[in-house]
Each structure stands twice: as structure tokens, then as C-alpha cells.
Amino acid sequence: MDLGFKGKVALVTGAGSQIGFGKAIALLLAKEGCSAVAVNDINLDDAKLTAEDVKALGCKSVALKADVTNKDEVQEMVKKVIGEYGKIDILFNVAGAILGGGPLEEQKEDLWNREIGLNLYGTMLVSQAVLPYMKKQNYGVIVNIGSGSTHMYSHGVSTYAMSKGAIDIFTKQLAIVEAGTGIRVNCVAPGPSPTNFIKAPDKQAVIDMLAKQIPMGRGATPADIANAAAFFASDISGYVTGQVLHVSGGSVL
């Protein structure tokens, strides 16, 4: 099946984690024929490692340091991709993290600001920066990363779950606004996966514990998430926009 990636240029945020979803997405896009995959992270050394692995697959790549919560850095990053490759066809908003939770009366506003700033505003800022270029070419695909935590208990009053719920709504709102412009917007909502997102030293032990509540009995692999993200990014989902796909082993129905 032709996914339509030949000649396409993608930008993946949060792709520095060597065991994370962003890198899995970048490598899959490279394998499936994208001509260039630009990889962003707040940590440049990590992004460079991913870019090298993308290049080893015969795809062009550049590592770009930017904090997705910083508008100036985001605008600069997007200009660099345009300068390097002339366009951005596909954006994956992957950068994100869980920062806290617990009883509401113990939470600090600083946590709310940082968590919503990273997960929601980070996604909005990068989308905002690429949209003018996508509009000019009457083509573009944005794939956001949500979370299964929007539909289940998530360690207290979790701003993380709320920030990801807002990403679901942002996805739908932007999809409708852009539906006539050739730009599609969708969201992959992963179940738990043993990436650096899990802060415990034994990540797999955390996932195995959580997997007892997952109907399919296991956590998500980065490949599970990359496959779903690639579907949304590909031309075979050309009539699909404004959707949130839970990739979580049956946890969310």
C-alpha cells in the first residue's frame, strides 16, 4: 500500500528521547519514504542522535533545539525547516510530559501553568507556526499526541489529563476550521508505554502493573503509537480529520 510519503517533509517535536514515541515516528516516516524528517527536542544532543539514525535510513534530517513553549524558538525552528527543505507537509506534536498531580488543595499554580504550557500551548504554538506554510501549499497534516488519561483515573486531579483533554478539543476545533484548506488535524491518544515519560527507574515494572487494568494485558510500544500516527499522516487517511484514536489495548471504549 502506498502511504503517499514519497517526497514529503515532516517535523517531529520531542523526538530526542531514544526510547520515545517521537523517535519511533521519525524512523517510521524515514522508512516509508519521506524525503526529510526534521527532529526537534529541548535537548539538542538527543535530537542529534535521532537525526543520525534517520539519515542512516537514507532520509534527510536535521536536529533542531527548541523549547516548544517558547514562541520565538518555535518560529525560528519552523523557519529553519523551511529554509532547509522548502516546506513542511506533516507536523507531529509529540513533545510533552506529566509533571504532577495529587489532591487539588496541595497543588501549586506553577505546576498548572507549566503542564498546560508544555502539553497544550506547546502543541498550539508549533501548529500556529507551521499553518501559514501549509496553507500556502493547500496541503498539510497535523498529528497531535493526546493520552488515555483523559478517560481514566490519573493520579489525583491531574492537570496532565486536563491538558491532554484540551488537546483533543484543540484537534477537533482546528480540524473544522481548516477542513476546507487541505489541512487535516488528528490526534493519537496512547496508553501507558515504557518511555522516558515514566520516571521510575524500572519503567517496565510500572507498565506491567498498569497492564493488569488493560484488556489486552500489555502496555503500548512506541511502534504501536508510530503506526497509528503514520496512518493519520498518510494519504490513506485523506478523508479523516478531527479524530482522536485511542491506541491503548482496549482501555478506552
Task: Enumerate the active-site residues.
Answer: 160
Q: How far is the CB of 102 from ligand NAD (least distance, A)?
A: 18
Count of residues near ligand NAD by CB under 6 A: 30
Residue 17 engages ligand NAD in binding (rule: CB under 6 A): yes
- End-to-end CA distance of the chain: give it in Å, rounded: 28
- Residue 205: its H or E element: helix 203-211
Interacting residue with ligand NAD among 192, 230, 245, 246 (CB under 6 A): 192
Question: Does residue 26 belong to the site contacting ligand NAD (CB under 6 A)?
Answer: no
Touching ligand NAD, residues 130-149 (CB under 6 A): 145, 147
Judged by DSSP in three states, 245 sits in strand
CB-CB contact of 77 with 50 (8 Å): no
Nearer to ligand NAD, 17 or 158 (CB): 17
Considering only residues 113, 137, 173, 196, which one is a binding residue for ligand NAD as defined by CB under 6 A? 196
Q: Computed from CA positions of residues 236, 239, 242, 244, in that sequence, does the dihedral angle turn out positive or negative? A: negative
- Cα–Cα distance, 83 to 36 (Å, whole number): 13
Q: Tally DSSP H helices, then E strands, for the chain.
A: 8, 7
Q: Which stretch binds ligand NAD (CB under 6 A): 3-11, 29-37, 84-92, 191-199?
A: 191-199
| Minimal distance, residue 233 CB to ligand NAD, in Å | 15
Q: Which residues of 159-180 are buried (b: 16+ CB within 10 A; e: fewer)?
A: bbbbbbbbbbebbbebbeebee
Stretch that binds ligand NAD, among 38-46, 108-116, 174-182, 228-236 (CB under 6 A): 38-46
Contacting residues toward ligand NAD, per CB under 6 A: 13-14, 16-17, 19-22, 40-43, 46, 67-69, 94-97, 118, 122, 145, 147, 190, 192-193, 195-197
